Chains A and B, each alone.
Chain A
Amino acid sequence: MDTPLVLKILYSLISLAVITIWGLSLGGIVRKIYARVQGRIGPPFWQPFIDIIKTYGKRTAVTHGIMFFLGPVFRIAGGIGTYLFIPAILGSTIFSNFSVSGDVLLVMYFIFFGQLGMALGAGESGHPYSAIGVARGLAQMTAFEVPFALSIIAIVIQYHTLNITTIVLAQQGSILNWTLFTNPLATIAALIALLGMNMHNPFSVVLAPQEIPIGPPTEFHGSYLALMQTNRGIFNAAKLVLYMNLFFGGATNIFALIIKTFSIYMISVVVGVSFPRFRTDQSIKFFLFVPTLIALLAIIILVL
């Protein structure tokens, strides 16, 4: 791990670029799939790139204040940071990122960084819909955090470590070594939690376009929005990489990474396409009930 700092930064930038492109493409692909399911042709999968370039290009910009201005920065810094603390590909120097900074606990808590910053920015925008969106988002987050945390605890019990790289190493050798197979209950609970994290249906009330037009980001536009859209790609991908590492044996090369993250993403997409939307209190109750019980069961089995 004695890579010189400059080189380390360079590697991280490369890693970041790859994940950004992949994350954004994933978004495009999903939109395509949605369209197809709904019987439309849909936009091309590179549509997100076009959107971002377009929004960056917008010259008019207003600000409601300093936190409003910093909100998107927080948001994307959170996304990038999260990704940078995860070792993306096992054994790869380029894709090991800054994972020496901390273990899975760091990643779990760094996820909040962007959300908090975003919430603050949205708060200063002064739009009631933003506040409502944040209230919903945070509330829902507390709920899906529970099964997620519990399944991570289950993993820690299983592997006796919080170190992501070690967890991935432990899953090497055979597909049957994956947490998915060695600890299916924890995986299921975590995947249900992922539905909430991704805020697809049925847990999309935070951004619910029909009720509170796009929720927290309502007031953001131009470069602010572009930053957020970029983040959406990176952050999504970062979460998927984390899941891949924890539950699906990690990746030893870029192709494994792409295939695995795509597959994991598809789960929430499929669920999202086929379900209507929950109200916040319903989703809270749901998360605290089904997946939490599953995760608890996973822990109990491991402890026994």
Chain B
Amino acid sequence: MITVFIIILGIIMILAAIIAVMSKNLLTAIISSGVISLLASIIYLILSAPDVAMTEAAIGSGLTTIVFLYALSRIKKINKEIDDD
């Protein structure tokens, strides 16, 4: 039962990874990579590592995604500055 669950999770993660890599849209890519981490934290739970799961969810998924998004916004800002010039 758990095995099937893990397999399904795994397939979703792989798909998300592929999307993250292939997507033309950076935002999609960033979100997808966040999803991977999020799903990974579920797997950690199953693997009896609740502490890792929490950290992964908070840092790996949450904080990392925020950092990515911040970087993206900075780049957008730089672009805007150029447009303004």
Do A and B touch (CB < 8 Å)? no
